[in-house]
Structure 1
Amino acid sequence: MIGVELFAGPGGLGLAAERVGIRTVGIEWDASAVATRVAAGLATIHGDVTKYGPADVPGQVLTGGPPCQTFTIAGNGEGRLELERVLEGIKLLEAREVVDPGMFSDPRTALVLEPLRWALEAIDKGIGYQAIVLEQVPAVLPVWEAYASVLRREGYGVATGKVRTEQYGLPQTRVRAVLVARYDAPAALPAPTHRPYKKGVPQSEGDPGLLPWVSMGEALDRAEPFTVISNYGTGGDPKNRGRRTSSEPAFTVTGKISRFRIIDARGNESRFSHSEAGVLQGFPADFPWSGSDIPQQIGNACPPTLGAGLFENTVHRRPE
């Protein structure tokens, strides 16, 4: 089975797909992310997703995480403000009309419509995808829900929702909006395998039917306990930096992960290496990060740990 990964980045979803036996081809325009993918042996087209379609890159599974800069809280918020225009764009695509990126104040916002364009174009060409897996920041959930309405009318079973990555074994608290779809079959989000993290609640407490969440100390090869001081302010105060110990999961890994300060028991300060930041994002410790702005590559990637669960449950799940 072949998967097509849109906005492939360094290969988070592609790596996840390959972990469950799906060979992937990724389309990515950023040269540094392409360098990482090539070093990792992931099949890659260095190009613009908007210039391609399903006839150019055939496959049975469609996956991707469109750029989120205009939707994320850390961005300028244009995507959230223009949500109604995005939903209008979805209606245009369903009617098989062209969406003009000029209808948005930031053309990157239009990129969130690309997976639906690919899915509908594949249907129209008689090469519709057997399965679709998409993920993004929580603010994109209304877009996925609108996608779901369209895809159901096209014969797909679809499930959408928000998932917490520490509940799938990632040593990091991160909430993502996801969509999974299967043609002519029911779809469902994967059941959590690990307990949710709650500050002050020990790993040993919680649902006995679930595994304990994974801490930074368990995931990283650091012999001594440490405290992480994040780049984020809490309570709306940028001077009040968040703190977590190595016995807790990491804060959400973003492109600013290199700014996190690590203080050991003797007061020595360090930073996460690229390998460590990648591990916290679910990549192997020896993943060959290449090119420039590696922290941004890591922060933008879908955690393979989460992606593998989404693919396994969607592509290999038996019909009910």
Structure 2
Amino acid sequence: MKSVELFVGAGGLGIASERAGFRPALVLDWDKWACDTLRENKRRGLKEFADWKIVEGDVREFDFGKVRGSVDLVTGGPPCQPFSLGGRHRAFLDERDMFPQAVRAVRELRPKSFVFENVKGLTRTSFASYLEYVRLQLRHPEVTARHDEPWLDHLSRLERYETSGRHDGLHYNLVMRVLNAANYGVPQRRERVFIVGFRSDLEFDWHFPAETHSQDALLWSQWRSNEYWDQHRVTPKKRPDGGAGRERALRLAEPPRMEPWVTVRDAISDLPDPERHPLLAADHHDHRFIPGARTYVGHTGSPLDEPAKTLKAGVHGVPGGENMLRRPDGSVRYFTVRESARLQTFPDEMVFHGSWSETMRQLGNAVPTRMAEAVLTSVRERLRRSA
């Protein structure tokens, strides 16, 4: 099945698309460092990148007519700074908003399906009208804005078209949901909003894949069965007191049926600590100690025995708290690039281009591959059943 990957960045959605069984006819991004990362991994022979046709350029200038034949899937994470909780919240006034280009791609390529993802901040109350504007444009991509038409006027016209019941031409049935990556086996509590659409002439029914992992299952394995500590060979003296998590576990009547949340320790315990064992760490690519981590109110780092906090890119470098590891003794250090890649479930063989802060920007903007793969595999299965 043929796909087109937009705003691909470090490749989280693109890798997930490849693993789900799609083959990219186009992989597009404007960022030099991100494209260098993709080209380097393709050159190194990573199977996920083998068939990628990488184009470095501005999507606003790309002619989608160059993509030949029918397209099964369009994916992308339109730049999210306009909606990020850490950004300036300008939304439709922000020139970095690339949702109009996502709509254009759907209009011109007419794919059977699309999957777009973005930060949870897109669902904030202050952005409710613009989110509805995005939804209606994706649902009716041929109802385009007129020259110099204000977006609110275009929204009103889309609302009238939506409620008229007369939907001629290209339109899509779509669903939208905020997903927590930890609930799909990602060692990170990262919430992203997914917008999934199917072309209406296909008459598909579809729903988001069921969650596979839970916090209660982790707490049970830590404080009821002790399987978690035994697996990691953590003696009782070195285990934390558990606090509220332990109390919650003791209230559980029976073992949860889901898999446990994956923790930071699960993800990185086989890697040598780059601060305490730098020579051993040097044997692992992109795994070196970065000094300067410190704690302060609201920035205490990610506990070792929980999923990590949301990795962030930051406007002026990487924030202090979210991208730090907090060891059981209270000491902290920054996650390395290799550890961060694991927290985003990227392949271990993958390498990244750019400085530490630039690479962390790529990783902080990415969608976790494992979560995206769950969604895209479900989409592909629905498309396959209709073929």
Could you list the runs of 5+ residues in structure 1 that have no partner in the other structure? 83-103, 123-127, 226-230
2:30 is aligned to 29
How far is 1:268 from its partner?
5.6
The counterpart of 2:354, out of the listed 291, 305, 313, is: 291
1:201 is aligned to 245
1:220 is aligned to 268
- Partner Cα separation in structure 1 for residue 118 and residue 88 of structure 2: 16
- Partner Cα separation in structure 1 for residue 136 and residue 348 of structure 2: 37
1:178 is aligned to 194
1:312 is aligned to 377
1:278 is aligned to 341
1:211 is aligned to 259
1:8 is aligned to 2:27:
no
- Partner Cα separation in structure 1 for residue 354 and residue 271 of structure 2: 29
* Aligned positions, number: 280
2:62 is aligned to 52
Which 4+ stretches in 1 moved above 6 angstroms?
none
The counterpart of 1:119, out of the listed 90, 106, 116, is: 106
2:95 is aligned to 107
How far is 1:138 from its partner?
1.8
- Partner Cα separation in structure 2 for residue 315 and residue 22 of structure 1: 8
Which structure: greater helix fraction?
2
Structure 1 residues 57 and 182: CA distance shift in structure 2, 3 A: same
- Root-mean-square deviation (CA), in Å? 3.0
How far is 1:311 from its partner?
0.6
TM-score (normalised: structure 1): 0.78
- Partner Cα separation in structure 1 for residue 330 and residue 244 of structure 2: 23
Which structure: greater strand fraction?
1
> For each residue in 1:237-263, what CA deviation from the matched residue of structure 2 results, as whole angstroms up to 9, or x when unmatched?
x73324442110000011155843435
1:189 is aligned to 2:208:
yes
2:232 is aligned to none
1:65 is aligned to 2:84:
no
Could you list the runs of 5+ residues in structure 2 that have no partner in the other structure? 43-48, 124-130, 142-161, 220-242, 274-292
Q: Aligned AA for 1:146?
A: L
- Partner Cα separation in structure 2 for residue 303 and residue 188 of structure 1: 20
- Partner Cα separation in structure 1 for residue 105 and residue 271 of structure 2: 47
Q: Aligned AA for 1:248?
A: E
Q: Aligned AA for 1:201?
A: G
Once the two structures are overlaid, the 10-residue window that deviates more, 56-65 or 266-275, is 266-275
* 2:303 and 2:325 in contact (8 A); partners too: no
Once the two structures are overlaid, the 10-residue window that deviates more, 205-214 or 1-10, is 205-214
* 1:182 and 1:315 in contact (8 A); partners too: no
2:281 is aligned to none
How far is 1:207 from its partner?
7.5
Tell which structure's C-alpha radius of gyration is larger. Answer: 2
**Secondary structure class of the residue paired with 2:213:** coil
1:129 is aligned to 2:111:
yes
Structure 1 residues 308 and 147: CA distance shift in structure 2, 3 A: farther
**Secondary structure class of the residue paired with 2:298:** strand
Q: Aligned AA for 1:279?
A: R
- Partner Cα separation in structure 1 for residue 58 and residue 135 of structure 2: 25
- Partner Cα separation in structure 1 for residue 63 and residue 214 of structure 2: 40
* 1:20 and 1:308 in contact (8 A); partners too: yes
